[in-house]
């Protein structure tokens, strides 16, 4: 059923023979090698693998933070690998919300101001920015923290704020790089439920994680080994935890 439904839709994310090499003192290092990947709208995709397997590089290539050395990166039909830095910044601000392991909230801004910042940078939502920020903070369960500084919040609350910020411009895609890596197990579980809810609501979610337990929530599992997709491990899942 899963494959037949996918077959009649166009993928929202396509990686076609993508490779990424970094120059090091010892010569080129291949972080990704000939990666092929298709992701469809509304899917929750878990990207797993050992440290150094290329997980973060894959997310960075999809979001345009890194440029592929070879191959094509297509996101909603946009050839990300061909965009200039200026075009990338504009496209990323409206098309993809990025969530990092270490939150990256600006310490001198309140939580609401952090959420409003992407709207200000992209010129979206006009006079509704504060109201939208508060609505998003309510959605992730921390409206009471709206006027506080990041340092006064727990790690889980800061990650919820980072998720709200990623949703600020209502992007169709959310890319999360180890979003539960610094959280205790109970808080991590709550954050996974939050991401799963976003996918249920129609967002496409790519999550890099060491936690294979995330497959309980996922529609697709992508396992990287030394920069390559392990085809034996790549498979569709059911996302049963978020659908049940």
CATH number (domain holding residue 144): 3.40.50.300
Please tell me whether residue 99 adopts helix, strand or coil conformation: strand
pTM of the model: 0.88
Percentage of residues in the chain having pLDDT higher than 90: 73
pLDDT category at 216 given cuts 50, 70, 90 is: confident
Asked if residue 110 lies in contact with residue 147, where contact means CB atoms within 8 angstroms, the answer is yes
Identify the domain containing residue 137 by its residue range.
2-243
pLDDT category at 217 given cuts 50, 70, 90 is: confident
> Based on the structure, what is the number of domains in the chain?
1
Q: Is the pLDDT of residue 88 over 80?
A: yes
Q: Where are the beta strands (DSSP E) in 192-239?
A: 204-208, 220-225, 228-229, 235-236
Residue 27's region, left for phi above 0, alpha for psi from -120 to 50, else beta, is left
Q: Is the pLDDT of residue 233 over 90?
A: no
pLDDT digits (tens, 9 = 90+) for 21-52: 998 888 889 999 999 999 999 999 999 999 89
Tell me the residue length of the chain: 244
Q: Which of 100-104, 115-119, 140-144, 220-224 has the lowest mean pLDDT?
A: 100-104
């Amino acid at each position: 059923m899963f494959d037949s439904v996918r077959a009649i839709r166009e993928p929202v994310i396509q990686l076609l023979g993508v490779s990424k090499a970094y120059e090091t003192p010892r010569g080129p290092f291949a972080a990704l090698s000939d990666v092929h990947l298709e992701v469809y709208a509304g899917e929750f995709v878990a990207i797993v693998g050992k440290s150094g397997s290329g997980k973060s590089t894959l997310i960075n290539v999809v979001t345009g933070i890194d440029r592929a050395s070879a191959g094509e990166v297509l996101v909603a039909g946009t050839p990300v690998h061909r965009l200039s830095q200026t075009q990338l910044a504009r496209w990323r601000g409206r098309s993809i919300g990025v969530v990092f392991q270490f939150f990256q909230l600006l310490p001198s801004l309140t939580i609401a101001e952090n959420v409003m910042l992407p709207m200000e940078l992209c010129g979206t939502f006009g006079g509704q920015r504060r109201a939208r920020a508060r609505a998003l903070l309510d959605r992730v369960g921390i409206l009471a923290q709206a006027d506080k500084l990041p340092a006064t919040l727990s790690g889980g609350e800061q990650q919820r704020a980072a998720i709200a910020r990623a949703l600020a411009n209502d992007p169709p895609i959310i890319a999360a790089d180890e979003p539960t890596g610094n959280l205790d197990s109970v808080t991590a579980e709550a954050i996974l439920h939050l991401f799963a809810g976003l996918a249920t609501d129609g967002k496409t979610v790519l999550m890099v994680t060491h936690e294979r337990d995330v497959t309980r929530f996922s529609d697709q599992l992508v396992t990287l080994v030394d920069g390559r997709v392990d085809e034996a491990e790549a498979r569709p899942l059911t996302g049963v935890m978020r659908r049940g």
